């Protein structure tokens, strides 16, 4: 794929042109990526205080007693959104589903350990750990190996 960027001071709005020989899966993927709306900031509460953080500050998100929690280096915060809603708003190349109840930032991972029952145990930079459901093991491996 060839990428060109052209700066034109006459333009009022950003314009994107995709040139291809034919409409194919790669064009579809580019279109989907361009249409994605990602949030620059998220917020969560701790006691009565609302904290604001960027996606890259998130170590992982998980559910606890039917509440979505986010873990950052600074602390744990309660989120108002559901886990699947947050998953849709996080950069998919940076975040991966670990289980039905957890999503991890790949940049926050330190190591993996195989478990006796076919799952993985994921260790984060801060020393905490989460387990990966068998269902999500292959997706994580693909993303780690740069194929996903």
Beta-carbon count within 10 A of 140 CB: 20
As a whole number, the mean pLDDT across the chain is: 89
Q: Quick one: tokens of 55?
A: 């996606």
Task: Count CA atoms within 13 Å of residue 25 on its CB side.
Answer: 0
pLDDT digits (tens, 9 = 90+) for 3-46: 888 888 888 888 888 899 999 998 888 887 777 666 788 999 99
Q: What is the pTM of this model?
A: 0.72
- Phi, then psi, of 16 in degrees rounded to 5: -120, 130
pLDDT digits (tens, 9 = 90+) for 44-53: 999 999 999 9
> Who's near 84: CB < 8 A, 6+ residues apart?
none
**Identity of the highest mean pLDDT range in 84-93, 114-123, 137-146:** 84-93
Q: Which helix (H) or strand (E) holds 134?
A: helix 134-144
pLDDT at 86 over 70: yes
Q: Quick check: 124 and 108 in contact, CB under 8 A?
A: yes
Q: Quick check: 85 and 68 in contact, CB under 8 A?
A: no
């Amino acid at each position: 794929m060839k990428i060109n960027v052209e700066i034109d001071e006459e333009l009022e709005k950003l314009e994107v042109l995709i040139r291809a020989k034919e409409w194919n899966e790669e064009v579809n993927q580019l279109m989907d990526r361009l249409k994605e709306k990602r949030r620059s900031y998220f917020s969560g509460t701790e006691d009565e205080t609302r904290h604001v953080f960027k996606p890259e500050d998130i170590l992982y998100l998980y559910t606890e007693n039917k509440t979505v929690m986010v873990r950052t280096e600074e602390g744990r915060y309660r989120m108002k959104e559901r886990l699947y809603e947050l998953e849709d708003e996080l950069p998919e190349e940076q975040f991966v589903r670990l289980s039905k109840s957890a999503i991890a930032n790949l940049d926050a991972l330190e190591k993996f350990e195989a478990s006796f029952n076919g799952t993985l145990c994921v260790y984060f930079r801060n020393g905490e750990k989460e387990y990966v459901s068998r269902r999500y093991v292959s997706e994580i491996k693909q993303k780690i190996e740069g194929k996903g």
